[in-house]
Chain A
């Protein structure tokens, strides 16, 4: 899926609307779409599958987040960032761009925060 095709995906549209990403300049928007496209390619999943894969249905029929799969997703994102060659603050920022997509689609998930005073890899 190209970044342009990705932009039409309902989950991606939801992300852009909820996070007000339309206010970003073209470079910012393109970067986010390209990053998510790469992540989808690496994981072999469509955007909506990234979200639905983290959800489960309880015995009462309610929607819940799978804690185990969310932990796995956090590790997958960190791995993706590392493989993509991002380091320092870029690694934190780009990992959290993927998390932003998940967050705005209803997944409560946190990644690292960048600490300027700490030499982070």
Chain B
């Protein structure tokens, strides 16, 4: 699928085909897409634990359910628990040096092995590593970039995805999560039981309300021809028809016995 179509088709899917298994090949595609994401100091920020729901100990599965997650956990056949590894500054010097040696980081931009060996720890990495707030803040940004890439891969593979909160304490014990992994998101994965396009795109505000040019008070002016082309390419799609959507949601609720 064209990348514009993939980005345009992504929705938060909340109704999954509970008994349609997701192929491991597609999960690996998602994981590799996450692994190819942009990342500071070439670190592996995200640690992902893939759980195939029906392979999980039923007792643990029940424990993972909370009054705010039960229905989704019942429906999604794959649960990807995403964590931020707070040790990401460890080994960063070695990875940066490798990037210098490979020509990814170059003298043209100020990079050198001497800088990495002698300066980068004290001026960049140590201040990050020694402040838990900054450590989590910087890491969460890069983790989010990776997770989004995995989500887009899922859409490309015909799957539905939705980010979700989860019972972090139960998951920590049940999945053997180390102390230095900070819980981020539960990424639910499965084949959509609902219209994969959920009846249309969610409302978004115009670019002019959130994008600026030159300074923070000059709104970005859309180029109408570009907007039209992006519509043709599938990035910008029709909004939700609320009446049709309500009818679909009612059908889904009846199928799964959920509250209407």
Residues of A whose CB lies within 8 Å of any CB of B are 19-21, 67, 70-71, 73-74, 89, 92-93, 96-97, 99-100, 103, 108-118
Contact = CB atoms under 8 A, between A and B. Distances in A.
Interface in B149-207: none
Contacts of B72: 110
Contacts of A92: 256-257
Contact of B74 (A20, A74, A97, A112): A112
A103 B259 contact: yes
Given A19-B260, A93-B257, A113 B18 contact: yes
B10 to A, nearest CB: 23
Contacts of B71: 110-113
* Secondary structure call for the B interface: loop
B19 interface: yes
A71 B67 contact: yes
B70 to A, nearest CB: 4
How many of chain B's residues touch chain A, expressed as a range? 10 to 19
Given A110-B67, A110-B70, A112-B74, A118 B19 contact: yes
B67 A70 contact: yes
B259 A96 contact: yes
Nearest to B66: A71
B18 A118 contact: yes
Contacts of B74: 112-113, 115
Interface in B17-57: 18-19
A74 B258 CA distance: 14
Contacts of B68: 108-110
Contact of B18 (A70, A109, A111, A115): A115
Nearest to B20: A117
A111 B260 CA distance: 12
A67 B74 CA distance: 20
A24 to B, nearest CB: 9
B197 to A, nearest CB: 21
Which of A92, A99, A114 neighbours the largest number of chain B CB atoms within 10 Å of its CB?
A114
* 9 tightest A-B CB contacts, nearest first: A117-B19, A100-B259, A92-B257, A114-B257, A113-B74, A93-B257, A113-B256, A110-B70, A110-B71
Contacts of B18: 113, 115, 117-118
Interface string B45-85: 00000000000000000000011111110110000000000
